[in-house]
Amino acid sequence: MNQKKLSKFSGRWGFILSAVGSAVGMANVWGFPAKMGANGGAAFLVAYLIFVALFSVVGLSAEYAIGRRSRTGTLGSYKNAWATRNESMGKAGGILGWLPLAGSLCIALGYACIIAYVLKAFFDSVTGKVMDVDTGAWFDGFSSTPYSVVIFHIIVVVGTLLTLLLGAKSIEKSNKIMMPVFFIIFVILAVRVAFLPGAMEGYKFMFTPDWSKLADPMVWVWAMGQAFFSLSVTGSGMIVYGAYLDDGEDVVKIAIRTAVFDTIAAMVAALVIIPACFAYNLDIGAGPALLFVTLPRILQDIPFGQLFAIILYTAMVFAGVSSLQNMFEAVCESLQNKFPKLNRSVVLAILCVLCLGIGLNMEPIAKWGPWMDIVSIYIIPIGATLGAVSWFWIMKKDDLMDEINKAAAKPHGNLWYCAGKYLYVICALILCCVALFMKVAF
- Contact (Cβ atoms closer than 8 angstroms) between residue 85 and residue 93: no
Amino acid at residue number 19: A
pTM for this structure?
0.91
* Length of the chain (residues): 442
**Distance from C-alpha of 386 to C-alpha of 304, rounded to nearest angstrom:** 49
SS3 2: coil
Q: Which residues contact 183 (CB under 8 A, 6 or more apart)?
A: 264, 265, 268
- Give residue-wise pLDDT tens across range 220-260: 999 999 998 889 898 888 999 999 999 999 999 999 999 99
Amino acid at residue number 143: S
**Distance from C-alpha of 177 to C-alpha of 159, rounded to nearest angstrom:** 15
**Residue 271: which of 23, 37, 44, 440 has the closest Cα?**
37
H/E/C letters for each residue in 114-168? HHHHHHHHHHHHHHCHHHHCCHHHHHHHHHCCCCCCHHHHHHHHHHHHHCCCCCH
Burial class (CB in 10 A: 0-12, 13-18, 19+), 407: middle
Amino acid at residue number 363: E
The DSSP-derived string for 325-339 is HHHHHHHHHHHHHHS
Residue burial 99-112, b: 16+ Cβ < 10 Å; e: rest: bbbbbbbbbbbbbb
Q: Which residues of the chain are under the pLDDT cut of 70? A: 1-7, 26-27, 286-287, 362-369
**Distance from C-alpha of 340 to C-alpha of 264, rounded to nearest angstrom:** 39
Residue burial 176-195, b: 16+ Cβ < 10 Å; e: rest: bebbeebbebbebbbebbbe
Q: How many domains does the chain have?
A: 1
Q: Which residues contact 14 (CB under 8 A, 6 or more apart)?
A: 172, 175, 176
- Give residue-wise pLDDT tens across range 313-356: 888 888 888 889 989 999 999 999 889 888 899 999 999 998 88
**Residue 45: which of 303, 223, 171, 225 has the closest Cα?**
223
Say what the alpha-carbon torsion angle 95, 99, 105, 109 is, to the nearest 10 degrees. Answer: 140
**Residue 113: which of 301, 284, 320, 385 has the closest Cα?**
320
Q: What is the CATH number of the domain that holds 222?
A: 1.10.4160.10
- Contact (Cβ atoms closer than 8 angstroms) between residue 125 and residue 291: no
- Contact (Cβ atoms closer than 8 angstroms) between residue 234 and residue 100: yes
- Contact (Cβ atoms closer than 8 angstroms) between residue 161 and residue 353: no
**Distance from C-alpha of 433 to C-alpha of 109, rounded to nearest angstrom:** 25
Q: What radius of gyration, in Å, describes the C-alpha atoms of the chain?
A: 21
Q: Would you give the end-to-end CA distance of the chain in angstroms?
A: 35
Domain interval for residue 281: 3-438
DSSP designation for 214: G
SS3 73: coil
Q: Kindly report the number of other CB atoms within 10 A of residue 281's CB atom.
A: 8
**Distance from C-alpha of 191 to C-alpha of 202, rounded to nearest angstrom:** 14
Q: Which residues contact 171 (CB under 8 A, 6 or more apart)?
A: 18, 163, 164, 325, 329
**Distance from C-alpha of 185 to C-alpha of 188, rounded to nearest angstrom:** 5
